[in-house]
Amino acid sequence: MPLYIVATDLSIRADRALRRAFDLAARNGARLIVLSVVDDSLPAAVADRLAEEARSQLSATCAALGAGCRAGHELRVIPGDPLPAIAATALREAPDLLVLGLHRTRPVFDSLRETTMQLLVRAGLCPTLLVRDPAERPYRRILAATDFSPASAAAIRAARALAPEAMIHAVHAVHVPFAGLVGDSAAYRDAILAEAGRARDEWLATLGVGELAGPVALEPGPVGEVLGAAIARLRPDLLALGAHGRGQFAEMVLGSLTGTLLRDPPVDLLVAQPPRG
């Protein structure tokens, strides 16, 4: 039985995540843990009052939303610092999915340090869903940005598990080196695309995601432009990404595209990385 965890601070942003988590749990037969963390640095009387208010409000909301969850849900209101408390719960429970709302925008602080979502994704505890939009309908169209890495394969697997009936459109941005020097040479571009096609086929066969992803479109151009065009063309309701790409420092930093999208996703965003070890 799948297990999902949704973290909420009772904000409007978190309410969207809560509703999406209940919807996904009901559709996928998952058990759901609703987690709210009360700041333990507050005076005890204040923290106790906030915890009781959170428990009362969430109990009513969960009772209304949980009718379709056959596997049931559990409400946990705990003291602590949100980031380590969420991480510790995820580490202990080993969920199949962690669901979060958008972080509160803080232009100065966000330019200096990573958001809670980025830090939790970096920890690589489980696939993480960042909910941006209201949960008005199930996910039907998923855009998966691939770089032929194990992380991209993990994102596609997570997306398929989350939305078994959805259409997954996978796209890979092909870098065409020295394009300005060789001019508009169709033969040169075709050779680069052919090489990318061989890498795609090997990736699909080696990591076993061919049946899950379907065809993977090869689009020449910078990854940001290719992904932006795909979003405008396909209008997906979920974007799936690997937590990082390939490279020497893959375990140290998030991919630059993933990090940017975590701060301001255009649609709901699912991020995953392959199991460690």
pLDDT digits (tens, 9 = 90+) for 28-49: 999 999 999 998 888 989 989 9
pLDDT, tens only, 146-203: 998 888 999 999 999 999 999 999 999 998 876 555 555 778 888 889 999 999 999 8
128-131 sheet: strands from edge to edge: 73-80, 31-39, 3-7, 97-101, 128-131, 268-272, 238-242, 141-146, 167-174, 216-220
Residue of higher predicted confidence among 112 and 47: 47
d(CA 149, CA 221): 19
CA angle 103, 242, 258 (to 5 degrees): 45
Residues found in the chain = 277
> In the CATH hierarchy, which top-level class contains the domain 3-131?
alpha beta
E strands, 53-125, are 73-80, 97-101
d(CA 156, CA 168): 8
- Give the pLDDT band (50/70/90) at residue 208: confident
d(CA 12, CA 215): 37
| Residue 212 confidence (pLDDT) | 79
* 238-242 vs 97-101, strand pairing mode: unpaired
Domains 3-131 and 141-272 share a fold: yes
d(CA 95, CA 12): 24
| Residue 111 confidence (pLDDT) | 46
d(CA 23, CA 30): 10
What is the fold of 141-272?
Rossmann fold (3.40.50)
d(CA 17, CA 7): 8
The separation between CA 161 and the C-alpha centre of its own chain, rounded to angstroms, equals 13
**In this structure, are residues 243 and 272 in contact, taking their beta carbons and an 8 Å threshold?**
yes
Integer CA distances (angstroms), 53 to 18, 83, 160, in order: 17, 21, 37
**pTM value?**
0.87
Q: Where are the domains of the chain?
A: 3-131, 141-272
| Residue 140 confidence (pLDDT) | 95
Please report which helix (H) or strand (E) contains residue 85, including its range: helix 82-93
How would you label 68-98 residue by residue, b for 16+ Cβ within 10 Å and e otherwise?
ebeeebebbbebeeeeebbbebbeebebbbb
| Residue 277 confidence (pLDDT) | 54
- Give the pLDDT band (50/70/90) at residue 214: confident
